[in-house]
Chains A and B, each alone.
Chain A
Amino acid sequence: EDKVVQSPLSLVVHEGDTVTLNCSYEVTNFRSLLWYKQEKKAPTFLFMLTSSGIEKKSGRLSSILDKKELFSILNITATQTGDSAVYLCAVESLGGSQGNLIFGKGTKLSVKP
């Protein structure tokens, strides 16, 4: 059975800290891995990763994929209170009857001032 596991499930840090969120997966016919940020309602897209070892970067956020070890990390440096959200990892698997994306349960990040 395809699955995506995120860790930790929740995390509390102080402003300025650096955090690393983890996402491991077991899927057949892997195509890509996506990160989303969900603050209150609609998840918003952060990154899509398809190749191992190539870092994607946007401001203080960065992410990398390891297709050999089947995981990805999302790094946030110099955290701010506005980074508080649930971060969702999703993996796209080709074929099957479950649609396109398999989501993890998310990591809830709380950044304290």
Chain B
Amino acid sequence: DGGITQSPKYLFRKEGQNVTLSCEQNLNHDAMYWYRQDPGQGLRLIYYSQIVNDFQKGDIAEGYSVSREKKESFPLTVTSAQKNPTAFYLCASSHRGLNEQFFGPGTRLTVL
């Protein structure tokens, strides 16, 4: 079945640690996105990538990093520089130039 997978589903991290969230898609989409969702805040764009080996900062990129070495994969690293990382993280993908984005099931990150 085609789709987007994110792992892990739940993630706990101690302050000062970096963690990497996985996002994989087999939809043959060129574009991939990372969003952060906080209660009452809607979705805010962290990073996006329109093509392999290229990515752009979104609205709230500080404290995060990404890579796009393969078309299918767009991992997000939450670094210790992110001041308030506890949130629900959603990954999405779309065909390049098209606006309908398909979402993964999300990863809920909690910093202890």
Contacts and interface: CB of A to CB of B under 8 A. Distances in A.
Contacts of B57: 97
B56 A99 contact: yes
Contacts of B4: 42
B41 to A, nearest CB: 6
Nearest to B58: A99
Bin chain A's interface residue count: 20 to 34
Given A31-B99, A100-B94, A9 B45 contact: no
Interface string A89-113: 0101000011111011110000000
Contacts of A68: none
A88 interface: yes
B48 A99 contact: yes
Interface in A4-48: 9, 31-32, 34, 36, 41-45, 48
Contacts of A105: 40-42
A83 B2 CA distance: 25
Interface of B: 4, 31, 33, 35, 40-45, 48, 56-59, 90, 94, 99-106
Given A42-B105, A99-B56, 8 more contacts: A42-B4, A42-B103, A42-B106, A48-B99, A98-B58, A100-B48, A100-B94, A101-B45
